[in-house]
Structure 1
Amino acid sequence: MLELLFVIGFFVMLMVTGISLLGIIAALFVATALMFVGGLFALMIKLLPWLLLAIAVVWVIRAVKPPKVPNYQRNNRFRY
């Protein structure tokens, strides 16, 4: 999938700039940027279930765990 994005970006950039050394270099940069963004998007979609699971686990732990009550007896050391 990502290789296809790279080839499409490279081809489109070559069609826009024409075939020259500067055009090929520009096409490489644009195709690499397109592949980078596509890869980040694919990685985000691939990791989305795990991120949702982590959010659900934290939510459940915070809902079940009682809030911490401060211990005020530390100030009453000398009371008998």
Structure 2
Amino acid sequence: MLEIFFLIGFVVMLMVTGISLLGIFAALLVAAAFMLLGGLFAVVIKLLPWLILAVVGVWIYRSMQKPQARRY
């Protein structure tokens, strides 16, 4: 919801300052790309403890297992 308010305010400010319609579309594209990358980065940071916990869990599970004899 906050992103929508940002985009609306961004477009209004660009129109008030006299930027052309093509410039507004280009600026919206760049702003959307930055928000997408920022959102993905935030999700990675938010999920990082769970990813580390999963890696530690698999590491502990594998260390508890005895080696399997390979049959070819």
User: Which category describes the TM-score, using the shorter chain as reference length?
Assistant: 0.7 to 0.9
Greater relative contact order (CA < 8 Å, ≥ 6 in sequence): 1
The amino acid of 1:62's aligned partner reads R
Cα 1:34/1:70, change in 2 over 3 Å: closer
Counterpart for residue 55 of structure 1: 55
Residue type matched to 1:41 in 2?
Answer: F
The Cα of 1:70 is off from its aligned counterpart by 4.0
| Identity percentage of aligned residues | 61
In structure 1, runs of 5+ residues without a counterpart are: 72-80
2:69 is paired with a residue of what secondary structure?
coil
1:18-68 per-position Cα deviation (integer Å, ceiling 9, x unaligned): 600111000110000000000000000010011000000000001010011
- Could you list the structure 1 runs, at least 4 aligned residues long, displaced by more than 3 angstroms after superposition: none
**What's the TM-score once normalised by structure 1's chain length?**
0.66
Structure 2 unaligned segments of length 5 or more: list them. Answer: none
The structure with more radius of gyration:
1
Question: How big is the shift at 1:69?
Answer: 1.9
- Provide the secondary structure at the position in 2 that maps to 1:69: coil
Q: How many residues align?
A: 61
